[in-house]
Structure 1
Amino acid sequence: MTPADLSLTVLHAVRRAVDEGVLRVDVPARVAVERSRAGGTGDYATSVALRLARPSGLDARDVAEILKERLSDSPAIRSVDITGPGFLNFTLDGSSQELVHDRVIREIARTGISYGHSQLLSGTHVRFAPVTEPRAVLLTETVIRLLQAQGATGDIDGIDGIDGADRTDDSSVISGTDRSVGEPSATADVGTHTTDVDTHTTTPHPERLPVAPSVYLPDLLGVDVARWALLRPAAHDRVLDGAALLVQHERNPLFRVRYAHARARRLVDNAAQLGFAPAYESAVDEPRLLGLLGDHPAVLLSAARHRAPDRVARHLEAVADAFLAFQHTVLPLGDEKPSAAHRSRLALAEAAGTVLAGGLSLLGISAPDQI
């Protein structure tokens, strides 16, 4: 069961409760499901009961109990728990999780760096107000690229731009020239947390992204470092120290992300020299890394909806850290012969590298094969 499947299952439970007359609310268009946070229980959680409490006239925990009754016998859900003021927490069946992980790895192999792109925002057009401040220009251009990756279109009010995917340098940021985005190629949406599709909507007034101003210094720092320094913090926060990002050290998050990608590529090359290739043939006990890869589509969708490239950057850091802790188990040691376990671990390593490359690409940052 993917997060998207779980979201639909919860939505069906709400609809059943309404049809049975035990819950008097309008059925929401979608139900958001996210991975349980540190200190929580289960694999995934939703706050839908809190959302429905006020319109139903019931306590949130009562709403949660109503939904739990209609979810406990769902296939692939091992248990449903209620925590806090009314959060529903789901523990999935172990075999179901293995199927999800298998599906994620295969989907990443099939779609490549487009993994996580979708058409979920197809029909949505976003207009942005003209901007000239360097960080605002960079943020707007990146947000448009994120929207494009989810099927939306975007442009700058009053500007006839070019497709954001055709940008080959950072002249737009330096000069303040604005760009518009056209239709992206069709890609998979496996693993997304939501299933609703916005149709033919346009923002009524041009959006202006709130940004703490800052200079953009690609000539001094290089394009990759200059972009990360401005995009990694939330738009209203201060930018990062560019000089620190130039140091190739594990304390440097940009270095860790790019090094993790390069390391994943190197593992695939090293495995080829040993005579084997990636193939996800057996389950790999790396729940954190597998979970992060499965969450990638939802992160991209959230970043587009909330105009927040920093969410992508933070997610890439988490993927990189989980991969770097796992990488030492991939290749055979000593006289050990390559096995199905090694091929599966290599497939996971390759998938992590692909996700890192795709995320960096959306931020306009390169993913070198060697560092």
Structure 2
Amino acid sequence: MTPADLSRTVLHAVHRAVAENALRAPLPARVRVERTRPGGSGDYACAVALQLAGDAGLPALEVARILRERVAAEPGIGRVEITGPGFLSFTLDAPDDSDQAVLDAVREQGSAYGHGGALRDEVFQFHHAREVRAAVTADAVRRLVVSQGARVRISCEGAGEEGEAEWGLLGVTVDAYGTPPVTSPADPSAPLIPVRPVPAGATARELLERLGPDATRWGLLRPASHDRAPLGDELLVQGEANPLFLIRYAYARTRALTRGAAALGFTPATDAAPYDSSARPLLDLLADHPRVLLAAARHRAPDRVARQLEAVANAFFDFHDSCPPLPSGDEKPSAAHRSRLALAETAGTVLAGGLSLLGISAPAHL
């Protein structure tokens, strides 16, 4: 069971409690679970009982008890405890199986890992100024919400110096120009949603000539939309200080590992051997990836995806340095090497898929 699975399980328990009239409270859109902090109990913790207590008119401990009995019997849940003022603490069954399930899901879904249907009933109509950062941000938001099942239409104001040709080179498409009605003709319930990041302070043509499309998109999307976008030559630096280079280098390294393993005559296997503690940060980030994508889509925040990819890349290199996926010297490939290779390839798939959602390429060679 992944963190995203556990979140859905707890949310389902809330829905059941409300449907059975055991709990009278508004249904939350989602439930957040977090890794238990050092010294805490169980694998994950959740504060949903405290969140619902006020509206339910019950003590948080009572809400926690109502939810505990509905979660405890779910597959994959080993134990549910109530701690503190009403926190739910979860111990999962077979954590190694959970890790394998994440890796198998990534291998099965490929770059679509983390995509889902949570927004399948939503229709969005985004509207932005004729300015390069607004256009790129709206395009990235479109990619994110579509990955979660939503339908999207994007319109752009008519005035401005930007041209469609330069936007096309940045992967941007616009469905209509001019200010549309405040609701979509296709769905009157879809209000016009403005996309208004801090302007780039440069035109698309200027940025393309200086940085190229990938570095331009990264520079515009990595900062939160309310922050200024640094668009200097540091975006072209080929070193670890440049997060875009780090992410792309991590992906290229995973592809090189696959080629190296093939030359040595072995292939990855998700169930070949258990992982040690050095793999845990990377495994947790990969398991959490679907939740990050959904949150980025809900909040229309592509910067969240960028930060997630940076974390995955850093965790991959830490794992790679501690547990090399390829044997060295006269060492023969072992089950441990096959499982490490599987984890490395999974990390590469997530990195490439995340970059694709940002409209950025992931070259196999750097």
Range class of TM-score, shorter chain: 0.7 to 0.9
Contact 2:115 2:290 survives alignment (8 Å): yes
Give the CA deviation at 1:47. Answer: 3.0
Counterpart among 149, 152, 165 of residue 151 in structure 1: 149
Residue in 2 that maps onto 1:253: 243
CA distance 1:338–1:8, shift in 2 (3 Å): same
- Deviation string, structure 1 residues 311-344 (Cα, Å, up to 9, x no partner): 1000000100110111132111222211222111
CA distance in 2, matches of 1:170, 1:44: 47
Amino acid at match of 2:258: V
Residue in 2 that maps onto 1:6: 6
CA distance 1:128–1:9, shift in 2 (3 Å): closer
Residue in 2 that maps onto 1:123: 121
Contact 2:2 2:288 survives alignment (8 Å): no
> Percent of pairs identical after alignment?
52
CA distance in 1, matches of 2:17, 2:252: 50
Amino acid at match of 1:206: L
CA distance in 2, matches of 1:245, 1:179: 30
Contact 1:320 1:356 survives alignment (8 Å): yes
Give the CA deviation at 1:171. Answer: 2.5
CA distance in 2, matches of 1:144, 1:340: 42
Give the CA deviation at 1:66. Answer: 3.9
Residue in 1 that maps onto 2:56: 56
Give the CA deviation at 1:3. Answer: 3.3
Residue in 2 that maps onto 1:194: none
CA distance in 2, matches of 1:176, 1:342: 41
Give the CA deviation at 1:355. Answer: 0.6
- Deviation string, structure 1 residues 41-100 (Cα, Å, up to 9, x no partner): 44333332133112211233442344335545655334445566644332323x1x2222
State the SS of the aligned residue for 1:204: strand
Contact 1:121 1:150 survives alignment (8 Å): yes
Matched, 1:227 2:217: yes
Contact 1:133 1:176 survives alignment (8 Å): no
CA distance in 1, matches of 2:166, 2:86: 47
CA distance in 1, matches of 2:50, 2:188: 29
Give the CA deviation at 1:156. Answer: 2.0
Matched, 1:262 2:248: no
Give the CA deviation at 1:5. Answer: 3.8
- Deviation string, structure 1 residues 91-118 (Cα, Å, up to 9, x no partner): 323x1x2222212212211222121222
Matched, 1:206 2:192: yes
CA distance in 2, matches of 1:320, 1:176: 26
Contact 1:123 1:201 survives alignment (8 Å): no
Contact 1:101 1:290 survives alignment (8 Å): yes
Matched, 1:351 2:349: no
Counterpart among 298, 311, 314 of residue 318 in structure 1: 311
Give the CA deviation at 1:34. Answer: 3.1
Amino acid at match of 1:265: R
Amino acid at match of 1:156: I
Residue in 1 that maps onto 2:35: 36
CA distance 1:297–1:40, shift in 2 (3 Å): farther
Contact 2:117 2:149 survives alignment (8 Å): yes
CA distance 1:9–1:177, shift in 2 (3 Å): closer
State the SS of the aligned residue for 2:88: strand
Give the CA deviation at 1:226. Answer: 1.1
Give the TM-score taking structure 2 as reference length: 0.83
CA distance 1:238–1:260, shift in 2 (3 Å): same
Q: What is the 5 A alignment of 1:274-285?
A: 274-282=264-272, 283-285=274-276
Contact 2:43 2:91 survives alignment (8 Å): yes
CA distance in 2, matches of 1:294, 1:7: 12
Amino acid at match of 1:122: R
Residue in 2 that maps onto 1:165: none
Give the CA deviation at 1:149. Answer: 1.3
Give the CA deviation at 1:247. Answer: 1.3
Contact 1:132 1:176 survives alignment (8 Å): no
CA distance 1:173–1:338, shift in 2 (3 Å): closer
Contact 1:36 1:89 survives alignment (8 Å): no
Any gaps of 5 or more consecutive residues in structure 1? 160-168, 181-199
CA distance in 2, matches of 1:90, 1:39: 14
Contact 1:104 1:293 survives alignment (8 Å): yes
Counterpart among 306, 317, 329 of residue 334 in structure 1: 329
- Deviation string, structure 1 residues 137-191 (Cα, Å, up to 9, x no partner): 11001101111111111112489xxxxxxxxx852477986248xxxxxxxxxxx
Contact 2:10 2:31 survives alignment (8 Å): no
Give the CA deviation at 1:23. Answer: 3.4
Contact 2:171 2:359 survives alignment (8 Å): no
Amino acid at match of 2:193: E
Contact 2:170 2:217 survives alignment (8 Å): no
State the SS of the aligned residue for 1:51: helix
CA distance in 1, matches of 2:344, 2:80: 32
Give the CA deviation at 1:297. Answer: 1.5
Residue in 1 that maps onto 2:180: none
CA distance in 1, matches of 2:316, 2:309: 10
CA distance in 2, matches of 1:201, 1:290: 41
State the SS of the aligned residue for 1:334: coil
Counterpart among 164, 167, 173 of residue 171 in structure 1: 167
Give the TM-score taking structure 1 as reference length: 0.82
CA distance 1:121–1:17, shift in 2 (3 Å): closer
